[in-house]
A = this chain, B = another copy of it.
Amino acid sequence: MSTNVDNGGRAPRLSAAESRGRILAAARTAFTRAGYDAVGVREIAAAAGVDPAMVPRLFGSKEALFTMIADGAFGLEPVFEGSIEGMGERVARHLMAPITHHTAEDFDEFAFLLRSVGSPTAASILSSALHASFIKPLSERMTGPAAEARAALVTAYVMGFAVLRAGLGSSSIESAGDEVIVDRLGSAIQACLTP
């Protein structure tokens, strides 16, 4: 009746589902930090505490694993769920937040995107995932003509900001007061959201 076993306190024999979950979590963290190409299967397995051979065995391939993570990575965050009005400032403030008090544990989906967008293999996977799970839903909450193009532009702003900060570690932004950035970035986003 027990899924937990008492085999001397060593390697308590995981279920396939749990091994999959561990690998997914470890891979998501690793890919976010170093990108698709730079992260090896052995590194992921080590972080997950499983054998390297389990990765292609449970997911088929490293690419399939990445696809599975990408497909679930770009759901609309809570900041994009409220009313369109005031969303620009809300998003800008959310993007600035990690600078002053970064939580370091929760998932930064844009850092995940930018770290792997360079790899041709990963780029196409990311493209469809981002469009299906982010740009499309966001555009459906918007009104006016060319909503999808404007939603894509919002994505470009947010992503560019994430690239500059998380990816390149730009000190130029952090040196200025937060309000300067929040004001400009928020206005730019808001201008795209409203027709």
Residues of A within 8 A of B (CB): 33-38, 114-121, 123-124, 126-127, 130-131, 135, 139, 145-146, 148-153, 155-161, 163-164, 167-170, 172-173, 175-177, 180-181, 184-185, 187-188, 191-192
Contacts and interface: CB of A to CB of B under 8 A. Distances in A.
A39 to B, nearest CB: 10
30 contacts: A35-B118, A35-B119, A35-B120, A36-B118, A37-B37, A37-B119, A38-B119, A38-B120, A114-B118, A116-B118, A118-B118, A123-B169, A126-B168, A131-B170, A131-B172, A135-B170, A135-B172, A145-B176, A146-B180, A150-B176, A151-B172, A152-B164, A156-B157, A156-B164, A157-B157, A159-B163, A160-B160, A163-B163, A184-B191, A187-B188
User: What is the predominant secondary structure among interface residues of chain A facing chain B?
Assistant: helix
- How many identical subunits does the complex contain? 2
B38 A118 contact: yes
Contact of A164 (B120, B155, B185): B155
Contact of A157 (B139, B160, B176): B160
Contact of A180 (B145, B160, B161): B145
A176 B115 CA distance: 28
A167 B120 contact: no
Nearest to A188: B188
